[in-house]
Structures are given as structure tokens and as C-alpha cells.
Amino acid sequence: MPASDRLVAAARKARRRAIAPYSKFKVGAALETADGIIITGCNIENATYGLTVCAERVAVFKAISEGIKKFEAIAIAAPSKRPAAPCGACRQILWEFCGDIWIHMDSLRGLRLSLRL
């Protein structure tokens, strides 16, 4: 299985753990380290909305909290008509902590898009 397929599969699995009672928009992310380790994340909503954390940031923060600092790619799985790109806050975190990595976006409907950050 190509690396992007492996990452997308991990993102889809992580999506199942998302907590999205307000938006119903469950997102999963899978971040691949330079060593090939996959760190996952899911979005976690709360009533304030402003304190909600996106799947991409959860994955990055989990990795950094474990001392991991080099990354190759991230996959994002979201229930959208088109592949969903990271929000502005996630792009900022990804750029600062991951650099110009590959982003594999999966719409769950057979549409995928891969771009550099």
C-alpha cells in the first residue's frame, strides 16, 4: 500500500474517535514522522466552539509532546464534497512545526488531493 493510502486509512480510522456533537463534521488526521511512525488525531468540539481543536493540531501536538520533531506528510479525512484543506490555524501550526510537508486530503467519497503545504 502506498504511503498516502496508509496515511489516509489511519486518518479515516482516527475520524471514528472524533467528538463533533455540534457540527456533526468528524475529521481524522494522520501525521507521518520522518521515521515512518504515524501519529493520529481527531477533532474535539465543545460548547464554546472557540475551544474546539482540529484533528491536524491534535496530531501535531501529540507528536511534539512525545519529542518528535521531523515530519513527512499528513492525511486528513473529512466528510466533504471535495477534499477539505486544513483551516488557517492548522496551516500555521503545520508550517511552524512540520514545514513544507505533503498534505493528503480525502473526501470520504473517493476524491483525494495531495499538495505540499
Report the number of distinct structural domains present in the chain.
1
| Percentage of residues in the chain having pLDDT higher than 90 | 93
Give the CATH number of the domain where residue 78 resides.
Answer: 3.40.140.10
* Domain carrying residue 111: 3-116
Query: Taking all residues of the chain, what is their mean pLDDT, rounded to a whole number?
Result: 95
Q: What gap in Å lies between CA 90 and CA 87, rounded to an integer?
A: 5
How many Cα atoms sit within 13 Å of 32 on the Cβ side? 22
**Alpha helical stretches, state H, 37-101:** 55-65, 88-98
pLDDT at residue 4, as a whole number: 85
Which residues are known to be catalytic? 56
Give dist(CA 55, CA 94) in Å, integer: 12
Cα-to-chain-centroid distance, residue 112: 14
pLDDT in tens, 40-61: 999 999 999 889 999 999 999 9
User: In the prediction, which pLDDT does 53 show?
Assistant: 97
Please name the helix (run of DSSP H) or strand (run of DSSP E) that holds residue 32, with its range, or none. strand 28-33
Distance CA 103, CA 111 (A): 14
- Residue 54: which of 79, 81, 91 has the closest Cα? 91
The pLDDT value recorded for residue 110 is 86
The pTM (predicted TM-score) of the whole model is: 0.94
Q: What pLDDT, on the 0 to 100 scale, is given for residue 49?
A: 87
Residue 7's identity, in one-letter code, is L
Residues of the chain short of pLDDT 70, as ranges, are 1-3
